[in-house]
Structure 1
Amino acid sequence: MLDFFTRERSVAGPGFNRWMVPPAALAVHLCIGQAYAFSVFNGPLSKVIGIDSPAPEDWKLTTLGWIFSLAIVFLGLAAAFGGKWLEKVGPRLTMFVAACCFGGGFMVSALGVHLHQIWLVYLGYGVLGGIGLGLGYVSPVSTLIKWFPDRRGMATGMAIMGFGGGAMIGAPLSVFLMGHFKSPTSVGVTETFIVMGVLYFISMMIGALTIRIPAPDWKPAGWTPPVIENKMITRNHVHIDQAMKTPQFYLLWLVLCLNVTAGIGVLGQASVMIQETFKGEVTVAAAAGFVGLMSVFNMGGRFFWSSISDYLGRKNTYYTFFVLGAILYACVPYAGHVGSVALFVMCYCIIVSMYGGSFSTVPVYLADLFGTKFVGGIHGRLLTAWSAAGVFGPVLVNYIREYQINHGVPKGQAYEVTMYIMAGLLILGFICNLFIKPVEAKHHMADDSARSKAPSGGMQPAGAN
């Protein structure tokens, strides 16, 4: 049985249709994207004992906030440490482990809610679920890049788009299930966690069972590798451990961290922010609609911007993120002053689209710089930037807002300083991107050492020769 999950057993046979791979990746990413919708559980989890209203023994929102934070931290750690393992064992086994961790995390959390033990919820969704998030996130990416050497950006956009859109499925599903299972003695979270754990495990297993990797030296029919004139796209490969010794890795780490910090902070406060900025004009329902619209742009931006990067180039695409993003953040306070809800919404939707686009574009940026052989593992280590941003962003937004309000600033204007700080972070990101150059030849793998360093069952990059 375990032999089925080996790398060698997942090599595609002759005539395999490469367009079967993106749905397999989506089957995983649409599940783990539920993480963006976890906030729908915060209210019910704060009333597990009181049922209709929080009891003194119930968990506080500050306590519950650590569940999501832990999941993002362990996402980055699992991606960083599991990326190299992924390159050795292949995507099928990695996706299987991700399914076990993510689905099992819901089960452990359900037990934690039933027993009212927060440490079990931290262990379940935060630690196990976070590991499932990290392994599930990176496992299909390098495979897609190898299957689509002619359209790298579009390929990664198709999969990572699913992570941005997972909340569109996870949020209404969670609300429906909690409503179905709610009773005078239960808020319905325990039962909902069990059902979602089973459903997500099945969906992720479908992805794991159908994923395939291309055979050595495979390339698309009728396609020949073009003569590369862009110095930012290499034909060579850099070993995962050697990549950590290059300045390009750390500059790109900062590029991703700064862009994500600027976006993730406002994502978590979007509903409150628009209501406080336009007090009395925007209802709770309208604010929820705004959050849903941002989710659509988050998802669409992952496909749009990564596809555009195939023509603009990765470096130019990130220049666009930083320049346009800084301008839009600077416009947000103006939209509040003139009372333009439409301008406010437009600015944030475009900002969030670039936030999503940064995630789908960075794997191919790495492939351009370091080659495709170890891109999955290198991408995993780079995702620690996401973990850091998951802490920096919300802290900046929440604590600066609190400081402003404590010093007499009206709630509607408490975000203005934060917006200018976010614009400043994007300018720093622009500078970091400016310094990214092609990787020096001394870091490239020689042909003979490439074979010796490649993992067992290793393969040449798609489109080689």
Structure 2
Amino acid sequence: MPNPNVPLVSTEAPTMNTPPRTTRRKRARTPGYAIGALIFLWLVYAMNANTRQIFFFVLPSIVKEFSISPGTAGVIAAIITASCSLLALPLGPWFDRGGHGWARKYRNGVMAAGYFIFSIVTGIGAFTQSLWSIVVLQSAKNAFGGAGEAIEVTSMAESYPVERRGLALGIQHTGYPWGTLIASIVTAGILAAFGPENWRYVFLLIPLAMIPIWIGYWLFATKNRYAKFEKDTVEAGLTKPLHSTEDDQHHRAPAGALGRALRNPNIVVPSLASLLGIAVYTGISFWLPQYIAFVGNYSFAEAAAYSAIFTITGGIGQILWGTVSDWLGRKFTSIIAFTWLAVGIFLLQYAGLGLVWLIVIQLFAGMATNGIFPVIYGFVSDSAEKGAMGTANSVMLTATYLGGLSPLILGVLIGAGGGFSSVSGYNWGLYVMVGACILAVVLLTLFTREPVGKFRHLDRAVVSKQRCNLEYA
């Protein structure tokens, strides 16, 4: 039975019950605060992503220094990635109690300090003389980074008009493919300049960019600017993300929000789909550098650069699918994106035909490798109850990064297929990842309801709108 004290309709998403707007411009202008927040939160998220992804860029150097097997490489990659899920779920309600909109910067700053410190320490040789000390440091860093992502995405959802939430989340999430693409080039330059044996320099240098970014964001995100954003949003005929008043700046959901989120199919099932999506993304991040270095026989610096080609179109896909989901719907768009991703991953088995094939197939697959995540974040945000968007996104993010265990399977398959230099195990890994995409499509089709979009009335899932915290005619 639904809790009678909790509204079935999320007031943080557009519904048929939204009060009529006063004046609507022919083409409503996005408030200036929203655009500024998008710029800063893109940079913040990009640096969070970089502190995680640079590990994969230098993994071939780590493999060589410590003489580790494919299976061991898979284990450490899985542990480090799955560690992103450690803090997000238990801290989700704490995030929501710390303020909304502009005020989320306070607890986000605590998380950012965590992933900054552990990134820098990884670059100090005295602390990384053993393989497992690297694993511990990177796992601690990712625990803070995963929790930070939950706040950063929620901050973005609460800093943009609801009608353009998918677009905003799509652009923000290009910080992972495009921000990390920049980091891959910088990493390649560091390895070329100092030698692959000095891979620790990457962890010392790249995270330093966080300092000016966070100073700028801290000065930008203020109560007064956010209040003006809400006023400008209403005057533009758009829906503000928080239905706050002067006396209610800090929304709090009734007790038990986490339990209700875990019973909402529109939060749990997209979270499981995101788990499968990150299993593919982490799998490719693990698969590509090793394939390029050990099968393609490129240098480690070249492997770092070539393994990030898919991120070029990864950002385009995020903007495309995020924008499309605002009118087509989150569910329908995510199904299309997962289907596209399955085809792209299947085609990667032909990447060994030459550099041109490697580039073209990566660019095709990249249109969906990253694009599924902002759509699903929008999916979950639209289905969250009032005051609990951070909790809902923490559920999604916790499930998501459990998908980081996929290198365990890929490492075993690569080893069983003949080791790092044999193509057979790599192909087996691709088939497993294609299966993950197909499973995500089935789960989304049957067990979620479309929260927004012009075709939501055509949804014929086996779960009800009420169970998904939705209500529309």
What range describes the TM-score normalised by the shorter chain of this pair?
0.7 to 0.9
Q: Does 2:209 match 1:199?
A: yes
Partner of residue 311, structure 2: 295
- Shift, 1:212, TM fit: 4.5
Q: Does 2:45 match 1:38?
A: no
Check whether the contact 2:116–2:207 (CA below 8 A) recurs between aligned residues. Answer: yes
Distance 1:411 1:372, change over 3 A: farther
Partner of residue 389, structure 2: 375
d(CA) in 1 for partners of 2:358 and 2:57?
24
Partner of residue 245, structure 2: none
Q: TM-score, normalised by structure 2?
A: 0.72
143, 159, 176: which is aligned to 1:131?
143
Distance 1:291 1:193, change over 3 A: closer
Partner of residue 89, structure 2: 80
Q: Does 2:114 match 1:101?
A: yes
Partner of residue 398, structure 1: 411
Check whether the contact 1:271–1:287 (CA below 8 A) recurs between aligned residues. Answer: yes
What do residues 65-104 of structure 1 show as CA deviations (whole Å, max 9, x unaligned)?
7665444223222222222222111321122112211221
d(CA) in 2 for partners of 1:194 and 1:358?
31
AA paired with 2:56? S
Q: Does 2:367 match 1:350?
A: no
- Shift, 1:43, TM fit: 5.2
128, 142, 152: which is aligned to 1:140?
152
- Shift, 1:189, TM fit: 5.2
d(CA) in 2 for partners of 1:82 and 1:287?
37
Partner of residue 171, structure 1: 184
Partner of residue 373, structure 2: 359
d(CA) in 1 for partners of 2:111 and 2:346?
40
Instruction: Classify the secondary structure of the residue corresponding to 2:308.
Output: helix
422, 441, 444: which is aligned to 2:433?
422
Q: Does 2:440 match 1:437?
A: no
Partner of residue 343, structure 2: 327
Q: Does 2:263 match 1:254?
A: no
Check whether the contact 1:156–1:306 (CA below 8 A) recurs between aligned residues. Answer: yes
- Shift, 1:366, TM fit: 0.8
- Shift, 1:181, TM fit: 6.5
Check whether the contact 1:46–1:60 (CA below 8 A) recurs between aligned residues. Answer: yes
Which structure is richer in relative contact order (CA contacts within 8 A, separation 6 or more)? 2
Check whether the contact 2:188–2:304 (CA below 8 A) recurs between aligned residues. Answer: no
Q: TM-score, normalised by structure 1?
A: 0.73
Check whether the contact 2:264–2:469 (CA below 8 A) recurs between aligned residues. Answer: no
- Shift, 1:180, TM fit: 6.2
- Shift, 1:202, TM fit: 3.9
- Shift, 1:188, TM fit: 4.5
d(CA) in 1 for partners of 2:111 and 2:151?
9
Distance 1:419 1:411, change over 3 A: same
AA paired with 1:37? I
Partner of residue 16, structure 2: none
AA paired with 1:169? I
Partner of residue 448, structure 1: none
Check whether the contact 2:343–2:434 (CA below 8 A) recurs between aligned residues. Answer: yes
Check whether the contact 2:88–2:146 (CA below 8 A) recurs between aligned residues. Answer: yes
Partner of residue 310, structure 1: 326
Distance 1:370 1:171, change over 3 A: same
Instruction: Classify the secondary structure of the residue corresponding to 1:305.
Output: helix
Check whether the contact 1:405–1:414 (CA below 8 A) recurs between aligned residues. Answer: yes
149, 154, 157: which is aligned to 2:162?
149
d(CA) in 2 for partners of 1:160 and 1:200?
17
Distance 1:205 1:131, change over 3 A: farther
Distance 1:200 1:178, change over 3 A: farther
Q: Which moved more, 1:133-142 or 1:67-76?
A: 67-76
Check whether the contact 2:292–2:307 (CA below 8 A) recurs between aligned residues. Answer: no
Gaps of 5+ in 1: 1-14, 48-53, 227-236, 446-465
Check whether the contact 1:106–1:196 (CA below 8 A) recurs between aligned residues. Answer: no
Gaps of 5+ in 2: 1-30, 241-252, 451-463
Distance 1:45 1:151, change over 3 A: same
- Shift, 1:153, TM fit: 0.7
AA paired with 1:307? T
d(CA) in 2 for partners of 1:418 and 1:187?
29
Instruction: Classify the secondary structure of the residue corresponding to 1:116.
Output: coil
Partner of residue 28, structure 1: 44
Distance 1:271 1:59, change over 3 A: closer
284, 291, 294: which is aligned to 1:273?
291
Check whether the contact 2:84–2:139 (CA below 8 A) recurs between aligned residues. Answer: no
Partner of residue 462, structure 1: none
Instruction: Give the length in aligned residue pairs.
Output: 402
Instruction: Classify the secondary structure of the residue corresponding to 1:139.
Output: helix
Instruction: Classify the secondary structure of the residue corresponding to 2:237.
Output: coil
- Shift, 1:166, TM fit: 2.6
Alignment RMSD: 3.8
Distance 1:120 1:155, change over 3 A: same
- Shift, 1:372, TM fit: 6.0
AA paired with 1:258? L
Check whether the contact 1:265–1:396 (CA below 8 A) recurs between aligned residues. Answer: no
- Shift, 1:357, TM fit: 0.7
163, 173, 198: which is aligned to 1:160?
173
What fraction of aligned residue pairs are identical, expressed as a percent? Answer: 17
